[in-house]
Structure 1
Amino acid sequence: MTVALEHPVGTTDPATLVTPEVMKRLATRLAKDHPGTDLPTARRIIGQAAAFLAASAALPGAELSPSKAVDVGWHTFILHTVDYAEFCERVAGRFIHHVPTPAPETEEVSAATRTRTLDAITTAGYRIDHDLWPDTARMNECSQCHAGCSDSPNSGTK
């Protein structure tokens, strides 16, 4: 599979994937719902969630998974259904579903998923905020769905 790039690898600020108005709405909601998260950090999380979603759309079936922090951003985005649906249509040409997947059996599987996800985001042209993708984070520790999350409708049926 070949991915056509509109910008050099890993150079674009992923926050540009959403309008300033949407960013403000989402960051404000995230910070309110997650005490201890300040607005600048909430903006970074939303940006990384947008990059993750764009990479997932570019590589369907790649079994990408967000970090715990990025998944919080994805959950926040989903709550704003009009904004989320518009984003999905514009970036993916379709709705991007949030599908919890079974927990990986080993840390090696989690590390491989993390590497695959970060490589996909970089290849899609977006900068990685490494503080939001820690090496020690287990990809299956999603705070809301209690499993890894992906856009694959078949992920939960393996």
Structure 2
Amino acid sequence: MHQDRIDAAMSFPMEHVASKYASRMDVSIEVARGIVEELRRYLLLLATHGAENYNIPAGDVDDMWHIFLLFSADYRAFCDRLGAGFIDHAPLPDEEIDSPRVQSNYRRLLLDYEATFGEKPPRHIWPTPR
């Protein structure tokens, strides 16, 4: 992945998203900023590898994504900056969450994360697959 694309994602202003998340979820702004960073990385991976290739468990990153979607113009601008078009949020049906395909996609995400960013995903945000 080109460093300029990573820089574009990581430098996109999202302080207002972190602030809204911190307020809604009753966490510190520092915690919210860490989750924003993980959301940026996740969306960058989706833009690069395709949304059909990954699934994430319900949790902090998914919750932050929901908050980011409330700022629709900013979300659209972020997607445009990544150069991959609008990234849809499509929740999985409950009966698919534990399927082998979904678990395989999640494992692939964790591997691609490490390959792209040169570090393991933080386990407190990205749990070990089942």
**TM superposition score normalised by structure 1:** 0.66
1:23 aligns with 2:8: no
Q: CA RMSD in A?
A: 2.7
Q: Deviations over 1:60-118 (max 9, x none)?
A: 15431233111011111111112111110011431111111223263655543321111
**TM superposition score normalised by structure 2:** 0.78
User: Taking structure 1 as reference, are residues 81 and 134 closer, same or farther at Cα in structure 2, changes over 3 Å only?
Assistant: same
Contact 2:9–2:41 (CA under 8 A) maintained in structure 1: no
Question: Which protein, 1 or 2, shows the higher relative CO under an 8 Å CA cutoff with sep ≥ 6?
Answer: 1
Unaligned runs of 5+ in 1: 139-158
Work out the number of aligned pairs and report it: 125
Give the aligned partner of residue 65 of structure 2. 74
Q: 1:116 aligns with which of 90, 99, 108?
A: 108
Give secondary structure in 2 for the equivalent of 1:132.
coil
Higher normalized helix content (fraction of residues): 2
Distance in 2 (CA, whole Å) between partners of 1:66 and 1:15 is 23
Distance in 2 (CA, whole Å) between partners of 1:93 and 1:105 is 26
Distance in 1 (CA, whole Å) between partners of 2:72 and 2:118 is 24
Give secondary structure in 1 for the equivalent of 2:91.
strand
Q: 4+ runs of 1 displaced by more than 6 Å? A: none
Q: 1:54 aligns with which of 44, 47, 53?
A: 44
Give the aligned partner of residue 149 of structure 1. none
Unaligned runs of 5+ in 2: none
Contact 1:49–1:66 (CA under 8 A) maintained in structure 2: no
Give the aligned partner of residue 98 of structure 1. 89
Distance in 2 (CA, whole Å) between partners of 1:105 and 1:75 is 18
Give the aligned partner of residue 63 of structure 1. 53
Whichever residue aligns with residue 114 of structure 1, its letter is Y
Contact 2:39–2:65 (CA under 8 A) maintained in structure 1: yes
Identity across aligned pairs (percent)? Answer: 24
Distance in 1 (CA, whole Å) between partners of 2:103 and 2:76 is 30
